[in-house]
Structure 1
Amino acid sequence: MKITVGTHKIPGYGPTLRTTRRMTEQAVRIVSRAVPGSMPDLEVILTNPRGMAELAAAASAELAGVLDKRTRAKAEREALREARDVSGRAIPRADGSALVLLNVDQHPGEAEMAVTLVHELVHCMQFSRKNVVERIVRDTRDGFRVERQSRRQAREYDRAVEQDEREAYGKEYLANQLVPGAAA
């Protein structure tokens, strides 16, 4: 498993990058032991809301197989509205790896970063489970209007997302092992 930690369009965050790199290595070990599944190759990127929207839209478009520039621009605008309030996001990639985006504006300290990192890594572990990535691809393709999914499939996807979120929130206590007093 390969772990890459970097920044996107945020100069001057060297100490935060080093801290995140250290925490990511520890968090991967902790989450791998506590959550069923296998950890994919990871790329963790620290960025601001605009960079988060840009990277999330590009990764989602790549996952859905969308090449149309207008559709990508629309997806980026929608992602920007969402990114202002989001702390982090995990996105599976077509090559089997995972992209984790962390919004530095939402993390004033190490404790908040640790909680978000653990939460997103739990989602990365969930990507290795049966039919999870296929479900995400189907919903993403539906969102880009490439291939419609039935109402039943949409409801199934919503239930699965809700269940995955409950699991991820339930595992946030693991952040205490990274930074004492970090769990929400």
Structure 2
Amino acid sequence: MKTSVSTHKLPGYGSTLRTAKRLTEQAVKLVNRSVPGRMPDVEVVLTNERGMAELIVAADIALAGAADRRALKRATQGAKRAAREVQATAIPRPDGSTLILIDADKHPTPADFAVTLVHELVHAMQFSRKGVLERIVRNTRDALGIERQSRRQAREHERLVELDENEAHSREYLAEQLVPGARAA
């Protein structure tokens, strides 16, 4: 299990990057001990809203495996919407690793960052579980218009995403061990 932390289109955030590296190293160990599953290789990228949209598009296209112009347009629209709405996202990669994108501008304190990081690392652990990657790939291909999934598969995916989110939210208390006073909002 390797971890790396970097920035994308985020000049002048040196101290934020150093804090992120320190917290990521500690959070990976903490989440690995307390969440069932296997921690994959993790790449954490600190970026802004625009950079986040770019990286989401690239990750979705790589995950879907094929792309035409229509799929690229759908991916771009979805990524822009997601970048506006979320603070961070975890995306599995075809090689089994996980990309965690964090909007640095939406995390003013290390405590906020720690809560989000723990949440996304729980998702990384979930991606290693049996059948999860295949389900996410199938849903991504459907969202991009490459290959349709049945309504039953779509409903099952939504139900399981809700369960995964509940599990991730329930583990956010672990951030308290990284940064005293870190509380999930």
Look up the match of 1:28: 28
Deviations 1:116-144 (A, max 9, x none): 00000000000111100010000000011
AA at the equivalent of 1:51: G
Percent of aligned pairs sharing the same letter: 64
Following TM superposition, where does structure 1 have runs of at least 4 consecutive aligned residues deviating by more than 6 angstroms?
A: none
Counterpart contact for 1:174–1:183, Cα < 8 Å: no
| 1:41 corresponds to 2:52 | no
Look up the match of 1:172: 172
RMSD: 1.0
Q: 1:72 deviation in Å?
A: 1.7
- Quote the Cα distance in structure 2 between the aligned partners of 1:107 and 1:137: 29
Counterpart contact for 1:119–1:172, Cα < 8 Å: yes
AA at the equivalent of 2:119: H
Identify if the C-alpha distance between structure 1 residues 11 and 78 changes in structure 2 by more than 3 Å, giving closer, same or farther.
same
AA at the equivalent of 2:154: A
The count of residues paired between Structure 1 and Structure 2 equals: 184
Deviations 1:14-57 (A, max 9, x none): 00000000000000000001100010001100000111111011
Q: 1:70 deviation in Å?
A: 4.6
- Quote the Cα distance in structure 1 between the aligned partners of 2:149 and 2:55: 25
Counterpart contact for 2:46–2:103, Cα < 8 Å: yes
Look up the match of 2:143: 143
* TM-score, normalization by structure 2: 0.97
Deviations 1:86-123 (A, max 9, x none): 11100000011000000011101101000000000000
Look up the match of 1:66: 66
- Quote the Cα distance in structure 2 between the aligned partners of 1:51 and 1:73: 17
Look up the match of 2:116: 116
Deviates more, 1:76-85 or 1:119-128: 76-85
- Quote the Cα distance in structure 1 between the aligned partners of 2:131 and 2:175: 28
AA at the equivalent of 1:150: S
Look up the match of 2:88: 88
* TM-score, normalization by structure 1: 0.97
Any idea what SS the aligned residue of 1:118 has? Answer: helix
Q: 1:71 deviation in Å?
A: 2.5
- Quote the Cα distance in structure 2 between the aligned partners of 1:125 and 1:44: 14
Any idea what SS the aligned residue of 1:84 has? Answer: helix
Any idea what SS the aligned residue of 1:136 has? Answer: helix
AA at the equivalent of 1:65: G
Superposition pairs for residues 148-163 of structure 1, below 5 Å? 148-163=148-163
- Quote the Cα distance in structure 1 between the aligned partners of 2:98 and 2:163: 20
